[in-house]
Structure 1
Amino acid sequence: MTMSVTTPRDVEITMTTDDGHTLHGTLTLPDGPGPHPAVLCLPGSGKVDRDSNAGRLRMELGVPLSHALARQGMASLRYDRRGVGASPGDWRAAGFVDNRDDAVLALRTLRARPEVEAGKVGVLGHSEGAVHAMWLGSHEQPAAVVLLAGYARPGKEALLWQASRVGDTLPGLVRPLLPLLGKVGLKQLTALENTSTDVARVGGAKINARWWREQLVHDPRADLPGITAPVLAITGDKDLQVDAADLEVVASLVPHAETRCAPGLTHLLRVDPGAPKLTSYSRLLRRPVDAGLLTEVSSWLAQRLR
C-alpha cells in the first residue's frame, strides 16, 4: 500500500497599504480543516518577490519553506514587495520603513483570514526580513519569531562588516586594490547618506536611496528586548553578509531566545563545504535550500504554534 502525498493548496490574495499600494501574495494552506496556525514569511532586501528571488539571484525559498510548514500543519503567507512580481509600483521608491509597514499589514491580514487561527501566528524573516521580524516581535506580539541571518547591530555597522568580510574573500590579484576601493566606497556611502529623495544616482547607479538612509540608521537592538514570544535565531558560520557573532547579542537581549551558529551554512541558506566567497553564490544557487534547515525551522514552529 502506498501513501499519497497531499500538495498544499495555494490561494492568491491581495492587500492594500495605507498609501494605496497593492501587494500580491500567496497563502499556502495545509491539508485538513482549519483554522490553522500560520507563519508570515519575510524575505531579504532588494527587488525581491514572494519566493525570495531578485532577478538572476534566485533563492527559491518560498515554495520549499511553505511546503515544509504545510507538512507540519501550518499555513503561511508570502508576498511580492512593492514594484516586484505581481505587485505594481517602483521598488526603488520604497523605503525600509515602508517594507516594515507592509510586513505589519501582511501580519494583520494573515491573522484576519478565516482559514487561520489568529492567536497562533508566527513570523519568520531572512536577512532584512529578520530585522523586520524583530520589530514585529516587539510591537505586534506574534506567537513565535524565527530569525534567519538577521543582524543585531546598527545598519551602517552591519554594512561595513559585510563589505570587509566580502573583501577578504576576493581573489589575491584584487586585494591590493582594497584600500582604494574602500575609500571610493566610503565616499559613495557619504554621498548616499546626504541624499534626500526616494531614488537617487550615486556613483552613476540609480539606487533606492531612502531605503538605504533608513536602513543605515536602524538599530534592531532597540526592538529585541521587547520580544516576549519564543525566538529561534540561526546564522551560518559561513555567512558573508551577517556576522554570526550577532547571535550573542540576540541571546543577551532576549534571554529566552534559542540561538544556533549553523556549521557550513551561508547567507543563501545553502551549506558550502568550501571556503566562503562571493564567487560561490552562482554555484550554490543551483542547489536547493538546505533541507535540514527547513526541517529544523518548521518543526520548531510547529511545537510552538500548534
Structure 2
Amino acid sequence: MTYPGTSTGTADLRELQLTVPAADGLALAATLTLPAGPGPHPAVLCLPGSGKVDRDSNAGRVRMDLGRPLATTLARHGLASLRYDRRGAGATPGDWHTVGFLDNRADAEAALHALREHPDIRPHDVGVLGHSEGAVHAMWLAAHAPVAAAAFVAGYARPGDQAVRWQGARLADALPRPVRPLLPVLRRVAARQLTRLAATTTDTARIGGVRINARWWREQLAHDPRPDLAGIRVPVLAVTGDKDTQVDPDDLDVIARLVPNGAETHRIPGLTHILRRTDGPASVFAYRRLLRSPVDDELLATIAHWLATRLR
C-alpha cells in the first residue's frame, strides 16, 4: 500500500487517501478511514456493487453515495474501513469495459492484503463487507482468505445466470401495462443476448450496437457462489430488503443453510437494492426518486454494530 498524500479528519474519524497495488501492479485509488483514538484498529474492507463505480458506489450521474456514510458509521463503532475506486472509475486508471468479474475479485483480495498490512490496522481483526456484486466477492474472500467476519448486503446465492434471469423477470413484472403485450418478444431478445454474451471470447463485444464488458458478463454468468458459502468458517451476516428486485430475498435462506455454522440473516421491510426504503411498489423505475434520499441509517447502524461485536 502506498501511504497517503493527503489526510483529513473530524472529531469522529480520520481519512487517508492512498493507493493499493493490484496483483498486476495497477494502483487502485483508495480511502482508508480510521476511527478516533489510537490504533491499531479492527477494520472492514468495503466492496461495491457492479458497474463502473468509484469508492462511494457512484457511477456517473447514478449516485448511490454509500461509501462515505458507511465508513463514517463504521468509524463511530470503532472500526477502520478501506474502500477504493474500481478499475477505470474515479481516480483508478484502466478501461472499465475490459475488466472481468474475476479481475474485480482479484482486486478485492489485493485490497484485503493491503488493509491487513497497514500499520494502523490489527491484521487478525479484519472483516469484509460487500454489496450486490461486492457481496459475492465477499463470499469468496470469507471462504478463501484470512478474514474474521463477513457481511453480505443484497448478495445472491445461486449461479450468476439464474440470478440475472430472476432479475430480468422482476424487471418485466414492473414494466408499464401498455408495454406488457411485448413481453414475449422482449424475453426472447434478452435470452438471445445472454446466450451471445456467454459465448463470447473477447474482453468486449457489441450487443445491440452497445459496447459491453463481455468478459465481466461471461465470468459473472458462469460463477456459482454456493461452494464458497459452504466453505465459510467465520461469522456471517446476510441482509437483503424485501423490496429488492435485483436479488431474490429468498436467497437469505440459502445462505443460512449453506454456511456450515449458520448465518444471521435479516430480511428488511421496505428496503430496496439501492438500500433506501419505500412504501411503494418494488421497482427499479423508482430508483431515481429514491436516490434523492440518503442510504438507510438504521441499516448502516445494524451492520456496523454486528461487525464491531465480531472484530473486537
Residue aligning to 1:297: 303
Match for residue 271 of structure 1? 277
Unaligned runs of 5+ in 2: 1-9
Q: Distance in 2 between matches of 1:206 and 1:285?
A: 27
2:173 aligned partner: 168
Is the 2:158–2:225 Cα contact (8 Å) retained in structure 1?
yes
- What is the 5 A alignment of 1:29-44? 29-44=34-49
8 Å contact 2:245–2:272 — kept in the other structure?
Answer: yes
Deviation at 1:283, TM superposition (A): 0.4
Matched residue type, 1:302? A
- The answer to whether the 8 A contact 1:141-1:228 is kept is no
Distance 1:72 1:243 in 2: 30
Moved segments of 4+, more than 4 Å: none
What is the SS of the residue equivalent to 1:25? strand
TM-align CA RMSD: 0.9
Per-residue CA deviations over 1:286-305 (Å, capped at 9, x if unaligned) read 00000000110001111111
2:265 to 255, 259, 268: 259
The C-alpha deviation readout for 1:38-77, integer Å capped at 9, x for no partner, is 0000000010100001112111000000000000111000
Distance 2:221 2:193 in 1: 13
Q: Distance in 1 between matches of 2:170 and 2:46?
A: 27
Contact 2:97 2:203 in 1 (8 A): yes
Aligned to 1:159: 164
Q: How many angstroms apart in 2 are the aligned matches of 1:18 and 1:67? A: 29
Residues 69-88 of structure 1 correspond to what in structure 2 (within 5 A)?
69-88=74-93
Aligned-pair distance for 1:92?
1.0
One-letter amino acid matched to 2:83: R
Extract unaligned runs of 5+ from structure 1. Answer: none
Measure, in 1, the Cα distance between the counterparts of 2:23 and 2:150: 25
The separation in 1 between residues aligned to 2:27 and 2:94, in whole angstroms, is 9
SS of the residue 1:223 aligns to: helix
The CA distance in 1 between the partners of 2:129 and 2:232, in whole Å, is 14
CA distance in 1 between counterparts of 2:296 and 2:23 reads: 37
Deviations 1:141-164 (A, max 9, x none): 311100000000000000000000
Superposition deviation, residue 256 in structure 1? 2.3
Q: Is 1:102 the counterpart of 2:145 in the alignment?
A: no
| Equivalent residue in structure 1 for 2:71, among 56, 66, 73 | 66
Cα distance in 1 for partners of 2:23, 2:48 equals 21
CA deviation digits over 1:241-296, x for unaligned, max 9? 00001011101101421011111000000111111112100000000000000110
Aligned-pair identity (%): 62
Match in the other structure for 2:3:
none
For the 8 Å contact 1:141–1:227, the answer to whether it is kept is no
Separation (CA, whole Å) in 2 of partners of 1:226 and 1:193: 27
Given the alignment, which residue of 133, 139, 156 partners 1:128?
133
- Cα distance in 2 between the residues matched to 1:15 and 1:67: 21
Instruction: Tell me the equivalent position of 2:204.
Output: 199
Q: TM-score, normalised by structure 1?
A: 0.97
Name the CA distance, whole Å, in 1 between partners of 2:16 and 2:284.
36
